[in-house]
Structure 1
Amino acid sequence: MNDSRKYILKIAFQLFMQKSYKEVTLKEIVEKTKLSKGAFYHYFPSKEQLFMEVIDSYYYAYLNVDYLKFSQDNLKDFYNGILEQMQAEINKMSTEFQVDDKVVPMNYYLLIFDAINLLPGFRKRVIEISDREFEQWRKIVSTARAKGEISSPMTDELIAKTFIRINDGAGIYFILEGNVEKMNFEIKELWDAFYNHIKT
């Protein structure tokens, strides 16, 4: 990818993470990049086109987690690996894009809703990513049961969904409460409690 194009995308993502799609103007992005209008519009003729490429370049990379890099034979190690990655991503966004780490998760979710409303096909891609996430959780739960790490009358599918919904629910709750710095701590606390309930 052309360096100027990458630079514009990075600046735009930084601004979208600080505010929202509606609040960021094309004029503001042009000024922040310090490029001429002609040079800017050569790459991105509209704000919508720019937003679409920002989502392609940054969001799908963050959403599309490689679950195979986490433990594949221990459920607790698997979810602790996910928690570490979540915190690392928040820290990375905060540092690289100069966004307060207390608002990173909130703005991240808000931009997802913007993308759902503005970009055809975004919802379908997010559902596909969510389906892959569920399958990875189901596999590690099945492995944990087979190895005697956990025992529960709940099905593998229900256990996997419970871990995922705890994550999703805690995220939304702390965003609404305006207290996102506690989010990962709370998710870990809930995951640990659920794990302790089903472990052998």
Structure 2
Amino acid sequence: MANLARAIAVLSVYTVATTTPAGGQPAPATAVASPLEVRVTMDYRNRPASEVLQTLTRAAGLTVTIAAGTLLPVTTAVTNARLETALNAVCENASCRWTLSDRAVIVTPVPIDTACLLPRAISIALSDASVLEGFRALAAALSLQLSVEGVLPDAPPVNIRFTNAAPADVLNFLTQAVKCSWQFEPGRLVIRRLPL
């Protein structure tokens, strides 16, 4: 509940379809012709995409099916927009595509090239540091979780001083010192020891 309050999520669904038939009596409100025409207002800050999609679709009387894959967190706001527009905004943020099939929204994550999400250049300086400390500092600078698979071999302390360098250049320098490989995955930097 606290997470929802922090999300500052406001969702309003409006169905405005009243008509006055020839008899002069107002007809009861009817459902919007297409669920994609439902009007929504939302304001999300760094929320899980699945949570946002479930809230939107449920409010419009739809279900959502999310295929396997990684969805990025959502930060978006729309006011009195069509559901279709809101879904497009969410998927643009979350890196996914959606389709409507019957009364279900089908969401398919788009593979993320994590290198595109990284800064083009970073600066890092460490003196007499272990290679592992170098990986930790780099992961922190890139806002990534560090995952080390296997035990890194001992190596003499390193002095690292890069200014406006590509993250790959720093990683290549560090991995040469301990004979390991590196890979970016969504949200983390993975270091793997190479077989001997």
TM range (shorter): under 0.3
> Which protein shows a greater Rg?
2
Structure with the larger strand share: 2
TM-score using structure 2 length: 0.23
Structure with the larger helix share: 1
Larger RCO of the pair (alpha carbons < 8 Å, separation 6+): 1
